[in-house]
Amino acid sequence: MTTKSVPLATPVVPAKRPSSNLIATITSWRVLLSIAILCLLPWVLPSKALAVNVLIYGVLAMGYNLLFGYTGLLSFGHAAFFGAGAYITGIAIGQFGVPWYGAVLLGVVGGGVLAFVIGGLSIRTRGIYFSMVTLALAQLVYHVGLQASSWTGGENGLRGFTVAKIDLFGVSINFLDPVNKYYILMVFAALALWFVSRVLNSPFGAAIEAIRENETRARACGYDVERTKLLSFVLSGLICALAGTMSALHLAFVPLDVLHYQTSGMIVMMTLLGGASSFFGPFVGAFAFLLMEDVFSLWTSHWQIIVGSIFILFVLFLPKGIWGTFLAKVIR
């Protein structure tokens, strides 16, 4: 990362500036642009259910990327927050009769609290050890999900909280209708996009990038690195929990698999596929990942060999992910 003992009078690579105004424009309008694209999604994808999944996993990957791409922390435990959001929403609606908006709020806050606990415990470890502590703590959450079956339904999954109608400002919307459902959940996604965009533009956004770039220097500049990381962890957990609540509303079912480490793994892969440390990357990654699975699994039961090969090719030839590579091309 640092240039050690090599006296260089001239830079190795001629400095280049992102001269493209296009990128600047895209960046400043990124939230509205994303929403515009999301509006079209259900009409270009093979199914509405898939479009809703793009929303959910896009938000999930975006929340994850706040921690991974922007703060530089590789967590293997984000399934816990996704799952917490989903379970809390489902339990609130099904067992306490909380209205859907209240349940969503509870889910998000609950996910945030869990992130505070897991983040607080793990933030002091580094590198792959951090990844493994988050994995281990998330597995404990999985275990709770499995064992507390009177609350969570255990391995059978949480059921019995179908939201058939959304009542809003006196209007009753049929939530079982796929189009209605998509656009209602899109509002959540839009809020998440707006929130993340603001966070990234904020001084805090600058601070986490500084920590990702150089933790030592950031600390020497006066940033409390642990605290900043923890806040980033919690914000990331909040967004992932929101994705969880969306998933609960969408399926009216919470499978125990949401807490499984494979879900955590999938989040990482989606983010990397799209391109970490870019705003659109995670969404693009989620989109590509889900589309690939959907399309190939319809085509052959051996779809995993295709998906696996595509991953390999991506790492070798497009290491910045889909969106990252696109950006690099445009800037050049």
Partner 1 sequence: MDAELILIQLFSGVALGAILVITALGLSIIFGMLGVVNFAHGALFMVGAYGGLWVASLTGSFWWGLLVAPIMIGLFGMIIEWLLVRPLYGRSVDDPLLLTFGLSYVLVEAVRIVFGNDGIPFPTPSQLTGVANLGIGYFPIYRLFVIVVVAVVLLLLWLALEKTKFGLIVRAGARDPTIMRVLGVNISKVWLLVFGVGVGLAALGGVLAGPMRTVNPEMGSLVLIEAFVVTVIGGLGSLLGSVVAGLLVGIAISMTALFAPELGTIVMFALMALILLVRPRGLFGKTA
Partner 2 sequence: MSDKIDSLIRRKISRRAALVGLSAGASFIAMPWVARAADDTIRIGFPTPLTGPYAAEAKDQVKSAELAVKLVNDKGGVAGRKVELLVRDGKLNGGEAATRTLELIEKDKVHAVVGALSSAVQLAVNEVTRARGVIYVSISQSDTINEVKDFSKYTFHEALNPHMTTAAVARHAIKKGNKVAHLVADYAYGHEMLRGFKRALTTIGAESVGELLHPIGAPDYSTLMPRLRAMKPDVLCISNFGRDQANSIKQAADFGMKQQMKIVVPVLLHNQRLAVGPEVFEGVVGGANYYWELEQQLPSAKAFNDAFRAANGGAIPTDYGAYGFTGISSLLLAMQAAGGPDTDKVVAALEGLKYDVAKGAQHYRKCDHQSVQSVLVLESKKKADMKSANDFFKIVENEKPSEDVLRSCKELGFPA
Partner 3 sequence: MSAPLLAVENVGRRFGGFVALADVTAQFEPGKVTSIIGPNGAGKSTFFNVLSGVLTPSSGSIRFKGMDLVGTRQHRFVHLGIARSYQITNIFPELSVHENVRVAAQAGRSRYNIWTNRNRFRELSERADAALDSVGLAAKRDETAKFLAHGQQRALEIAIALISDPEVLLLDEPTAGMGPEETKEMVALLEKLARERTILLVEHKMKMILGLSDRILVLHHGRLIADGSPRDIQTDPEVRRVYLGQNDGYA
Which residues are at the interface with partner 3 (CB under 8 A)?
A: 1-11, 13-17, 198-199, 201-207, 209-210, 213-214, 216-225, 227-228, 231, 235
> Quick check: 135 binds partner 1 (CB under 8 A)?
yes
Q: Which does 129 bind (CB under 5 to 8 A by kind): partner 3, partner 2, partner 1, none?
A: partner 1
| Contact string (CB under 8 A) for partner 1, positions 48-87, x = contact | --------------------------x-------------
314 binds partner 1 (CB under 8 A): yes
Question: Does 298 engage in binding with partner 1 (CB under 8 A)?
Answer: no
Three-state secondary structure string covering 18-71: CCCHHHHHHHHCHHHHHHHHHHHHHHHCCCHHHHHHHHHHHHHHHHHHHHHHHC
Residue 132 touches partner 1, criterion: CB under 8 A: yes
Closest CA to 78 of 253, 288, 241: 241
**Residue 206 site contact among partner 3, partner 1, partner 2, none (CB < 5 to 8 Å, cut-off depends on kind):** partner 3
Q: Which residue has the tokens 């992130």?
A: 115
SS3 state of residue 267: helix
**From CA 183, how far away is CA 193, in angstroms rounded?**
15
- Map tokens 């969404």 to a residue: 283
In the complex, minimum distance from the CB of residue 144 to partner 3, in angstroms, rounded to a whole number: 30
The SS3 call for residue 3 is coil
Residue 162 binding target from partner 1, partner 3, partner 2, none, CB below 5 to 8 Å by type: partner 2
Shorter beta-carbon distance to partner 1: residue 204 or 296: 296
Distance CA 104, CA 254 (A): 14
